[in-house]
């Protein structure tokens, strides 16, 4: 195993004017000290993740060391060991990650609220919401949907061979997990910290990822970007609307409006045809809702008012206008083979009058 890993430095030396002086390794006195480093330093393990929970108690009575959030909205379940991590730490981490996988946005907000309550109890400062803290940390609005994907992270002073074998086995089964070795050193009253990530040159995680995985990752990133645009647009509309009763339009109430706007932002720019029938868009939305559900994302289709909300959404996207025309007026409808986009779209007949959207 030692030939296949990149471990932390066995020793560090300080360069002086005349010689090299060794830095002496010291173990973290308490596990909480290591947690302090990881929680307070966003890039310590390689990316600017945001800590949203610490010492999080699970329903079965166990305690998760750290829960972090990426800029994409995905979660990182982190287990810290100040000394040597043994193989049982992996089982512990997997159990925590399985629980984290069940958390929705509301649950993450509750965890963050508890985390900030514990932090501000001594500091006496105002507690931000998760969305506010996210935007301040990453400089962008928080995605509407969180925890679409999860990864695991083990941070330890050292790792035994059995643990590394367990990590390799998880990676071979496409379960994302990273291992970071953190060592501290003392010299001349200073404490220096070295961090190295363990990598396995034979692990599938280090090979080029499959086309399917790349497409799924691109899809999630695209939807996340569109959701950010949706959030900004909705906030802008909310700021502009009059602040008195009677002006709450379709996009000013809770429900499916944000999902429909996200759908319009995602799909309308992709059409190259000059006319898109409403029936096709409705079938596409149904297909998108089902596809998102397979990724663990809940989308909503309202029982009533879908056509009106879609009309408002497409108007906001721009470039399209409400129109009606006969099927055989526009040859591009057939040439584009739009029926391939949605299997349940009822093909119109020649001479049939359609409602839909035409390019401006």
- List the CATH number of the domain containing 32: 3.40.1350.10
67 and 116 co-located in one domain: yes
pLDDT at 337: 57
Are 219 and 289 part of one and the same domain?
Answer: yes
Helix orientation angle between 88-100 and 161-172, rounded to the nearest 10 degrees: 40
Same domain, 216 and 90: no
Asked if residues 159 and 83 have their Cβ atoms less than 8 Å apart, the reply is no
Token pair 């931000």 is at which residue? Answer: 128
Point out the domain boundary residue: 156, 190, 206: 206
pLDDT in tens, 167-202: 888 888 888 888 888 887 777 667 777 788 877 655
Check whether residue 136 and residue 259 sit in a common domain.
no
Q: In this predicted model, what pLDDT tens digit does every residue of 250-294 receive, in sequence order? A: 444 445 677 888 888 888 888 877 888 888 888 888 888 887 777
Q: What is the pTM of this model?
A: 0.55
CA distances from 282 to 108, 238, 286 (A): 32, 26, 6
Cα separation, 203 vs 169, whole angstroms? 9
Closest C-alpha among 97, 267, 270 to residue 175: 97
Residues 257 and 185 in one domain: no
Residues 290 and 171 in one domain: no
Q: Are 178 and 232 in a shared domain?
A: no
**What Cα–Cα distance (Å) separates residue 61 from each residue in 93, 152, 180, 196?**
14, 20, 26, 32
Same domain, 188 and 222: no
Residue with the two structure tokens 């995602």? 266
> Which helix (H) or strand (E) segment is 177 a member of?
strand 177-187
For residue 288, CA distances in Å to 232, 310, 342, 356 come to: 22, 14, 9, 19
Residues in the chain: 360
Q: How far apart are CA 173 and CA 110, in angstroms?
A: 32
Report the run of H or E that residue 50 belongs to, with start and end.
strand 50-57
65 and 190, same domain (yes or no): yes
In a structure prediction context, what are the per-residue pLDDT tens digits for the chain, which is 360 residues long? 333 333 444 556 777 677 777 777 777 777 777 888 888 887 777 778 899 999 999 888 888 999 999 888 889 999 988 888 887 888 889 999 999 999 988 899 999 999 888 776 555 567 788 988 998 888 888 888 888 888 899 988 888 888 888 888 888 888 888 888 888 777 766 777 778 887 765 554 444 555 556 666 666 666 676 767 777 777 766 666 555 545 445 444 445 677 888 888 888 888 877 888 888 888 888 888 887 777 667 777 777 788 888 888 888 888 899 998 887 766 666 555 565 566 667 777 778 888 899 988
Report the distance separating Cα 92 and Cα 64, nearest Å: 9
Domain that holds residue 353: 211-241+248-359
**What SS3 class is residue 148?**
coil
Burial status of residue 145 (CB atoms within 10 A of its CB: 0-12, 13-18, 19 or more): buried
CA 59 distance to own-chain centroid = 23
Summary mean pLDDT of the chain: 77
Strand ranges across the sheet with 353-359: 275-277, 353-359, 320-326
Tokens found for residue 98: 């399985």
Residues 198 and 73 in one domain: yes
Residues 226 and 252 in one domain: yes
Distance CA 114, CA 127 (A): 10
Domain tally for the chain? 2
201 and 325 inside one domain? no
């Amino acid at each position: 195993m030692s030939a296949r890993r990149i471990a932390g430095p066995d020793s560090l030396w300080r360069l002086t004017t005349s010689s090299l002086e060794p830095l002496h390794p010291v173990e973290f006195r308490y596990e909480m000290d290591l947690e302090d480093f990881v929680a307070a330093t966003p890039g310590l393990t390689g990316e600017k993740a945001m800590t949203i929970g610490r010492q999080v108690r699970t329903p079965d009575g166990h305690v998760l060391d750290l829960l972090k959030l990426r800029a994409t909205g995905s979660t990182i379940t982190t287990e810290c060991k100040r000394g040597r991590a043994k193989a049982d730490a992996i089982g512990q981490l997997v159990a925590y990650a399985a629980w984290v996988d069940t958390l929705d946005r509301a649950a993450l907000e509750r965890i963050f609220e508890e985390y900030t309550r514990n932090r501000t109890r001594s500091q006496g400062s105002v507690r931000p919401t998760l969305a506010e803290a996210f935007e301040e940390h990453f400089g962008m609005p928080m995605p509407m949907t969180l925890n679409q994907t999860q990864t695991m992270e083990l941070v330890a002073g050292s790792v035994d061979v059995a643990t590394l074998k367990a990590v390799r086995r998880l990676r071979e089964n496409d379960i994302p997990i990273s291992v970071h070795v953190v060592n501290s050193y003392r010299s001349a009253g200073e404490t220096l910290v070295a961090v190295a990530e363990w990598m396995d040159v034979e692990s599938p995680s280090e090979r080029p990822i499959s086309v399917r995985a790349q497409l799924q990752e691109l899809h999630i990133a695209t939807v996340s970007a569109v959701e950010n645009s949706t959030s900004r647009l909705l906030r802008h509309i909310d700021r502009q609307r009059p602040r008195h009763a009677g002006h709450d339009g379709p996009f000013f109430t809770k429900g499916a409006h944000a999902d429909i706007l996200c759908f319009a932002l995602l799909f309308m720019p992709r059409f190259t045809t000059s006319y898109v029938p409403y029936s096709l868009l409705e079938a596409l939305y149904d297909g998108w809702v089902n596809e998102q559900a397979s990724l663990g994302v809940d989308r909503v289709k309202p029982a009533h008012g879908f056509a009106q909300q879609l009309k408002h959404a497409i108007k906001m996207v721009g470039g399209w206008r409400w129109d009606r025309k006969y099927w055989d007026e526009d040859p591009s409808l057939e040439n584009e083979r739009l029926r391939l986009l949605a299997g349940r779209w009822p093909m119109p007949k020649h001479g049939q009058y359609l409602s839909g959207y035409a390019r401006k």
